[in-house]
Structure 1
């Protein structure tokens, strides 16, 4: 990996959630009968978790019925208080974050899906959760060629400034994360356990690398062990964070096809790499292609297709809360000589993440090209 990674410039900020507010959020999420849909209904009615727990039985029952109203008014158990204390301690570390629907850092792309989590636990650079991204998924029992394809596609897309989203599983997921770590876009691992648990254990070193320069994300409370039903459910987050989903290898019945279906339902692009007609791991990709997924042979095929997604990419960039600098000013500032990203960011007085998102749009339009060593060059007029 390059020692001058753009994500190294992103500050690791502690969780912005006060301890008392965090306790109310955890109580809401962990109350029996309150799922994401019911939680959003309550938040819409009362405005905040604290207001929910300060409401009386009649007001609560009017929205969620007597059974859930009773559960909400039941004092926190010892086990729930222990979970609150554990989460508060965990969130006190600068690399750890608890994001709620009310947090400005919550991934905006997830607000568009049918079932966004009320809370997310993140370890690493949370700015990546609002960066342009492509999900790369596939078989745990991948072929050698599938592993190579996943890693090389992911590396190329990451060098183009796209974050690589995957699930930290063995096989294609592992290769995708490795490739993502090689480029400026880095990678996000969406896991099916608590954010304090690494599964599978064989990926412990990889998970540590991702936490350092990428991000690990989970909707499950700390301490949640690997449960089979959690993994298909987390797939909606993998696809939801991305502008498109690339399926590298998949059997005719696999979790990767679930992710692809969710991507289609969410309005994301679906891409598939074709393979041998004799390989069982090509069956799923071929099925997706017959159903309308875009056949791709190179990362460039994906980048060209995502030019049609320009508006979502701009909306999900890692832009700061201050007003963004006009894009044309970046071009006029850089001129036509090769320039290092750090130098260009300083000239434009913007951060690397914002600059990277702007340059990605120009790269997709063929106006600039990225060179080795985080150097960019303008090759055409706008």
Structure 2
């Protein structure tokens, strides 16, 4: 788009009190953002409230700065990927978002902009998962990506990040076999401007996502990570996926908001059960009681979405349901898969405290178990 058109879109999106719904009505009536700002207050008042019409006559204070910032961002992407601004009606604008009651007026995107979404699955969960939960999110992300699905999540710490990382690994398998480079491997929907990465720990992850997928934001460049942005962006995550898989979530988790939004959009909601002792599993158990699909492996996801050719089922079954080794460490057998305290484990195995702690440290260093808050230990799924 040219400079004047960009300015008009930014002005419409930045006008205080004019949300996505009102902006859509204005565009439907007048045809373009430029035409909106050519109207007198009386004409605007036929479409929106008098207060909104008055606001449209004033130029936002930060508009000039935002125009320059956006133009520079669009003109100077990194060598590895592209930057773009997709507006309602743009051919690249994901059709899935148009099913929302308030689709973003425009979205900022960074990554492989020539590709498309394809079949997608949202994976969400706790920002503070158990070691088992983080590993499970990565496994499902990898398996679903390898099967040809795009994994959608929110780039947050915990389950989101693990799902993105798994999807990137699965993308390598996918590219090595039969899939073309026409779809994104993973999509991260963020709650900040795309000229910053939040959380900072995911700088490298965000860069890797841009190489194989896409970063999306409805917020202008320079937008800080404000708390109320993240629940709002969850509707985009829910809309982009054919379903939403909740890996771990407490009863008041934002992931349950995403699941609720998915249901309202007619999408599938799936949940992975966990230990009754882990608060991170209570939200998943509540979803299952309310009718969410109980999921144990990626095959369950594909079957629920009716996207499970037999060869894919066989592949995923081999990847995720491999049998346990006969030379398994005895302590792992005593541990089981639920979180367990040192005292309880000692009662099961009969080892003295020093010997038990030494063996636990060895297993932890080998990646066979994880340490939880409260002095608990948990076996990891690959063991």
Q: Per the alignment, do residues 126 and 293 of structure 1 end up closer, same or farther by CA in structure 2, a change over 3 Å counting?
A: farther
* Aligned counterparts of 1:261 and 1:136: Cα–Cα separation in 2: 14
Of 46, 62, 66, 1:83 maps to 66
Q: Does 1:247 align with 2:246?
A: yes
Pairing partner for 1:155 from 142, 146, 154: 142
- Structure 1 partner of 2:6: 22
Correspondence 1:366 to 2:285 = no
Check whether the contact 1:128–1:188 (CA below 8 A) recurs between aligned residues: no
Q: Which secondary structure does the structure 1 equivalent of 2:303 belong to?
A: helix
SS at match of 1:54: coil
Single out whichever of 90-99 and 132-141 deviates more from structure 2: 90-99
Name which of 139, 153, 163 aligns with 1:166. 153
CA distance in 2, matches of 1:240, 1:65: 29
Normalised by the size of structure 2, how large is the TM-score? 0.75
> In 2, distance between residues paired with 1:370 and 1:110?
33
Scaled by the length of structure 1, the TM-score of the pair is: 0.75
1:136-156 C-alpha deviation (Å, 9 max, x unpaired): 000011011001100001100
Matches within 5 A, 1:223-238: 223-238=222-237
Instruction: State the 1:129 CA deviation.
Output: 5.2
Contact residue 15 and residue 60 of structure 2 kept, 8 A:
no
The Cα of 1:130 is off from its aligned counterpart by 3.0
Q: Shift of the alpha carbon at 1:173? A: 0.5
Q: Corresponding residue for 1:132?
A: 119
Query: Is the counterpart of residue 98 in structure 1 residue 85 in structure 2?
Result: yes
Q: Distance in 1 between matches of 2:249 and 2:186?
A: 21
Gaps of 5+ in 2: 172-183, 317-383
Contact 1:271 1:296 in 2 (8 A): yes
Q: CA deviation at 1:281?
A: 0.9
Q: In structure 1, what is the Cα distance between the partners aligned to 2:6 and 2:55? A: 19
Alpha carbons of structure 1 residues 368 and 286: separation in structure 2 relative to 1, 3 Å: closer
- Report if the CA contact (8 A) 1:109-1:130 is conserved: no
Distance in 1 (alpha carbons) for counterparts of 2:27 and 2:13: 11
SS in 1 for 2:37: helix
* Structure 1 contact 240–266 (Cα < 8 Å) conserved: yes
Match of 1:269 in 2: 268
Alignment root-mean-square deviation, CA: 1.8
Of stretches 64-73 and 46-55 in structure 1, the one that deviates more from structure 2 is: 64-73
Q: Which runs of 5+ in 1 are unaligned?
A: 1-16, 308-360, 373-382
Does structure 1 conserve the Cα–Cα contact (< 8 Å) formed by 2:84 and 2:109?
yes
Which of 58, 63, 87 aligns to 1:74? It is 58
Residue 48 of structure 2 is aligned to residue 64 of structure 1: yes
Note the C-alpha offset of 1:305: 1.0
In the other structure, the counterpart of 1:45 is: 29
1:301, 1:371 → 2: CA distance?
13
Q: Is the CA contact (8 Å cut-off) linking 2:120 and 2:151 kept in structure 1?
A: yes
8 Å Cα contact 2:83-2:113 kept in structure 1: no
Shift of 1:365: 3.4
In the TM superposition, residue 114 of structure 1 has moved relative to its aligned partner by 1.6
Larger radius of gyration: 2
Shift of 1:32: 1.2
Counting matched residue pairs gives 300
Question: What is the SS of the residue equivalent to 1:99?
Answer: strand
* SS of residue paired to 2:207: helix
Q: What is aligned with 2:293?
A: 294
